[in-house]
C-alpha cells in the first residue's frame, strides 16, 4: 500500500510513531471515507501540535517564547471565551472588589476551582456570598501545580492573587453583588456593635451581682425577723444578669419571692377558660370556704372577689419593703444608695452601688403550681384595674433553656442575635416597647424555619429577625413558641404596634442606620 516505503528524510522521530500515523492517514480513505479522513486529519493535526509543543517546551516555566507568550500558557486554538473583558470593566470591578472586607476575621477560607481562559491565563472561581468572582493568578503559580486543583484561600499567597472582575448576569448580577457587599458590611458592623456596645465586662457583671446579693440578704433577714409566720420559700435572684443575656449595662435583676399555698385551699384557672379569655394569665381561686373559712390561710388577707389578687400581694410587700425597712441606714452600712422606685408596675428598688452605676432590683412574688406553671405578680399592662386578679405566666426559664440548647446543638448564634436585638431595642426609644420575651420567641419561631445559625450567618439571621418581627406586627399577633395560644403582643396598643412596625420596616432597607442610632443614643430603657 501507499506510504509503507515512503521517504523518511527530514523525520525527527525514529520510534515508529510517524510511520504509524502516515500509514493510517494514507489508508483512511479506504476505511473511513472522505469525510472520516478529513475529521481524522484535523484531530491528528491537533494532537501533533500538542505533542510538538510538549517536547519542545523550555525548562523554565516562565520563560517567554518568541511570540511573547509564556511557556505555561495554553495554545490559542483550544477555543475562545464568549466573554471579553474590557479594560473599563476590569478597572470598575477591581475598585468594587477592593471595598470588600479582606481581614481573616471577616471570612472563612474560601473554596477555589481552577479553570483556563482563552488568553492562556489560569483562573479560579471563588464563591463569595453566593457570588462567583473571577480571579487571575500571577505567573508565580504555574499551571502544572494548580490546573484542576481544589484549594483554600490559605494555600495561595496573597501576592499571587489579583482580583479582576465579578462574573455578572446583567442588572440582576450587579444587584446580587451589591447585596453581597451589604451583607458583608452588616456582618462586620454587627460584630463591632456587639463588642463595643452589647457585651458587658465581666467585672461590671460581678459587681452588679454582688450588689443584688447584698440586697437579697437584707430582705431575707428582715422578712424572717418581721414576719416569721409568712409562708415563703427561699428567695433567689434571677433574670438576664444571671443568664449572660443582659446587654449594654448590668442594671437589672429580679428577686424571686416564692409563696407557699395550701393545696386544698387554692386552685388555678387558665385565663382562656374565663370570661376574660386571656391566654398566658391565670386566676388563683380560693376553695373549700365552707370547710376552711377565711383566715385559715395566711394569704386570705389578699383575696379579692374570691381570688388571690397579685395587686394585693404586691401592696402587702410594698408596705413592708418600702415603708418598714430603713434603707438609708442599710445603704450606709453597705456603702450603697438604696431607694424604692415610685411609681412602678412592680415593687422595684434602685441601688446605686458606684458613682455612675445603678442596679434596679424587681421584687417579684412567685407561685409555682403542681404542674410546673410559674406565675408572677406582674399585672396586665393595659387592663391592670379590670384584670387585677390575673397572675402572669412566666416562660423566661423555659425560653432561655430552649434557646441555649439549640445553640449548643449547632454552635449557633441565636443568643448573640438576641443580645444584639435587645441592645438595639434598649438604645432606640422607638423600639423600647419590644421586650426580651418577644424577641426570644421571635428567634425561637425563626429557628423552626431556618437551620443555618452559624456565626457567619449572623447578618442574615438578624435581617430575617427584623422581617419576622415586621410580619408579626402586621398580623397583630406573636405566638409564644412554647404555648402558641399565648399572644405576646396583646399588651401593645394599636398606635404602639404601628410605630414599632414602621421603625422596623424602615430599618430593613438600612439596618446599619439602626445600629448607628443605637450606638449614638444615650438613653437606655430596661429590656
Which residue is associated with the grid cell 483550544? 78
For residue 210, what pLDDT is reported?
96
Residue 335 and residue 353: Cα distance in Å, rounded? 7
Residue where a domain stops, chosen among 135, 164, 198: 198
Which residue is associated with the grid cell 384584670? 387
Q: Is 143 found in the same domain as 209?
A: no
Q: Between 130 and 472, where is the model more confident?
A: 472
Residue 11 and residue 293: Cα distance in Å, rounded? 123
For residue 179, what pLDDT is reported?
58
Q: Is 227 found in the same domain as 187?
A: no
* 378-402 pLDDT tens trace: 988 887 677 889 999 999 999 999 9
Give the number of other CB atoms < 10 A from CB of residue 258: 16
Q: Is 477 found in the same domain as 437?
A: yes
* 330-374 pLDDT tens trace: 999 999 999 999 877 789 999 999 989 999 999 999 999 988 899
The average confidence (pLDDT) of the chain is 77
Phi (first) and psi of residue 83, to 5 degrees:
-105, 120
Calculate what percentage of the chain has a pLDDT beyond 70.
65
Whether 335 is in a domain gets the answer yes
* 24-70 pLDDT tens trace: 666 655 656 666 666 677 777 777 777 676 665 454 444 444 444 44
Residue 160 and residue 36: Cα distance in Å, rounded? 46
For residue 221, what pLDDT is reported?
93
Q: Is residue 22 over pLDDT 70?
A: no
* 292-335 pLDDT tens trace: 999 999 999 999 999 999 999 999 999 988 888 899 999 999 99
Residue where a domain stops, chosen among 351, 375, 394: 394
Task: Find residue 253's DSSP bridge partners.
Answer: 361
Residue 334 and residue 285: Cα distance in Å, rounded? 41
Q: Is 481 found in the same domain as 448?
A: yes
Number of structural domains the chain divides into: 4
Whether 60 is in a domain gets the answer no
Question: Is the alpha carbon torsion for 262, 266, 269, 271 positive or negative?
Answer: negative
Q: What is the pTM of this model?
A: 0.66
Residue 73 and residue 54: Cα distance in Å, rounded? 12
Q: Is residue 216 over pLDDT 90?
A: yes
Residue 60 and residue 142: Cα distance in Å, rounded? 10
Q: Is residue 495 over pLDDT 90?
A: yes
Written as nine digits, the cell of 216 is 437579697
Residue 461 and residue 446: Cα distance in Å, rounded? 9
Residue 136 and residue 156: Cα distance in Å, rounded? 12
Contact 52, 46 (CB under 8 A): no
Whether 67 is in a domain gets the answer no
What is the CATH number for 272?
A: 3.30.460.90
For residue 16, what pLDDT is reported?
64
For residue 147, what pLDDT is reported?
36
For residue 387, what pLDDT is reported?
82
Whether 62 is in a domain gets the answer no
User: Please, what is the Cα angle at 390 between 387 and 394, to 5 degrees?
Assistant: 135
Q: Is 224 found in the same domain as 182?
A: no
Contact 96, 104 (CB under 8 A): no
Calculate what percentage of the chain has a pLDDT beyond 90.
55
Which residue is associated with the grid cell 467585672? 203
Written as nine digits, the cell of 482 is 412554647
Residue 309 and residue 368: Cα distance in Å, rounded? 15
In the DSSP assignment, the letter for residue 344 is -
For residue 513, what pLDDT is reported?
84
Residue 421 and residue 403: Cα distance in Å, rounded? 15
Whether 69 is in a domain gets the answer no
For residue 486, what pLDDT is reported?
96
Helices (H), ranges, 122-201: 143-146, 170-193
Range of the domain at 43: 17-55
Residue 154 confidence class, pLDDT cut points 50, 70, 90: very low
For residue 475, what pLDDT is reported?
95
Q: Is residue 500 over pLDDT 70?
A: yes
Whether 70 is in a domain gets the answer no
Question: Is the alpha carbon torsion for 371, 481, 497, 473 positive or negative?
Answer: negative
Q: Between 442 and 129, where is the model more confident?
A: 442
Q: Is residue 80 over pLDDT 50?
A: no
Whether 8 is in a domain gets the answer no
Which residue is associated with the grid cell 522521530? 13
Q: Is the peptide bond before 343 cis (omega within 30 degrees of 0)?
A: yes
Contact 164, 137 (CB under 8 A): no
Mean pLDDT of 484-498: 95
Residue where a domain stops, chosen among 146, 179, 198: 198
Q: Is 174 found in the same domain as 244?
A: no
Contact 410, 454 (CB under 8 A): yes
For residue 385, what pLDDT is reported?
73
Whether 103 is in a domain gets the answer yes
What is the CATH number for 521?
A: 1.10.1410.40
* 252-307 pLDDT tens trace: 999 999 999 999 999 999 999 988 889 999 999 999 999 999 999 999 999 999 99
Amino acid at each position: 500500500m501507499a506510504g509503507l516505503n515512503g521517504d523518511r528524510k527530514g523525520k525527527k522521530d525514529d520510534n515508529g510513531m510517524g510511520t504509524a500515523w502516515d500509514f493510517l492517514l494514507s489508508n483512511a480513505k479506504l476505511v473511513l471515507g472522505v469525510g472520516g479522513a478529513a475529521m481524522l486529519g484535523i484531530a491528528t493535526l491537533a494532537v501533533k501540535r500538542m505533542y510538538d509543543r510538549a517536547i519542545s517546551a523550555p525548562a523554565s516555566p516562565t520563560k517567554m517564547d518568541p511570540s511573547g507568550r509564556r511557556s505555561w500558557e495554553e495554545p490559542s486554538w483550544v477555543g475562545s471565551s464568549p466573554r471579553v473583558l474590557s479594560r473599563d470593566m476590569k478597572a470598575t470591578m477591581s475598585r468594587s472588589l477592593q471595598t470588600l472586607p479582606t481581614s481573616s476575621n471577616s471570612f472563612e477560607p474560601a473554596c477555589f476551582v481552577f479553570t483556563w481562559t482563552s488568553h492562556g491565563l489560569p483562573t479560579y472561581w471563588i464563591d463569595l456570598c453566593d457570588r462567583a468572582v473571577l480571579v487571575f493568578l500571577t505567573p508565580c503559580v504555574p499551571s502544572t501545580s494548580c490546573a484542576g486543583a481544589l484549594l483554600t484561600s490559605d494555600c495561595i499567597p496573597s501576592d499571587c492573587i489579583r482580583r479582576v472582575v465579578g462574573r455578572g448576569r446583567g442588572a440582576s448580577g450587579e444587584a446580587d453583588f451589591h447585596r453581597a457587599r451589604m451583607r458583608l458590611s452588616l456582618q462586620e458592623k454587627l460584630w463591632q456593635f456587639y463588642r463595643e456596645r452589647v457585651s458587658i465586662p465581666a467585672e461590671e457583671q460581678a459587681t452588679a451581682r454582688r450588689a443584688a446579693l447584698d440586697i437579697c440578704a437584707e430582705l431575707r433577714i428582715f422578712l424572717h425577723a418581721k414576719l416569721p409566720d409568712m409562708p415563703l420559700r427561699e428567695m433567689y435572684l434571677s433574670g438576664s444578669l444571671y443568664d449572660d443575656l443582659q446587654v449594654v449595662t448590668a442594671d437589672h435583676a429580679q428577686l424571686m419571692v416564692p409563696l407557699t399555698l395550701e393545696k386544698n385551699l387554692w386552685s388555678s384557672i387558665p385565663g382562656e377558660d374565663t370570661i376574660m379569655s386571656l391566654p398566658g394569665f391565670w386566676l388563683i381561686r380560693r376553695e373549700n370556704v365552707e370547710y376552711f373559712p377565711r383566715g385559715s390561710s395566711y394569704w386570705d388577707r389578699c383575696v379579692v372577689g374570691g381570688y388571690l389578687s397579685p395587686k394585693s400581694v404586691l401592696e402587702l410587700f410594698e408596705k413592708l419593703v418600702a415603708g418598714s425597712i430603713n434603707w438609708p441606714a442599710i445603704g450606709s452600712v453597705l456603702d450603697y444608695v438604696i431607694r424604692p422606685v415610685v411609681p412602678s408596675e412592680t415593687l422595684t428598688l434602685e441601688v446605686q452601688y458606684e458613682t455612675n452605676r445603678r442596679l434596679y432590683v424587681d421584687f417579684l412574688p412567685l407561685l409555682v403550681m403542681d404542674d410546673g406553671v410559674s406565675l408572677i405578680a406582674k399585672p396586665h399592662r393595659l387592663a391592670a384595674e379590670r384584670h387585677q386578679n390575673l397572675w402572669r405566666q412566666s416562660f423566661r426559664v423555659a425560653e432561655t433553656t430552649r434557646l441555649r440548647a439549640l445553640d449548643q446543638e449547632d454552635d449557633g448564634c441565636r443568643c448573640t442575635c438576641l443580645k444584639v436585638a435587645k441592645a438595639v431595642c434598649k438604645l432606640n426609644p422607638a423600639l423600647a416597647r419590644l421586650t426580651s420575651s418577644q424577641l426570644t420567641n421571635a428567634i425561637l419561631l425563626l429557628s423552626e424555619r431556618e437551620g443555618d445559625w452559624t456565626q457567619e450567618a449572623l447578618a442574615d439571621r438578624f435581617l430575617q429577625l427584623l422581617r419576622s418581627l415586621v410580619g408579626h406586627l402586621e398580623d397583630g399577633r406573636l405566638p409564644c413558641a412554647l404555648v402558641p395560644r399565648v399572644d405576646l403582643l396583646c399588651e401593645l396598643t394599636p398606635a404602639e404596634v404601628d410605630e414599632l412596625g414602621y421603625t422596623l420596616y424602615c430599618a430593613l432597607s438600612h439596618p446599619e442606620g439602626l445600629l448607628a442610632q443605637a450606638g449614638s443614643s444615650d438613653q437606655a430603657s430596661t429590656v
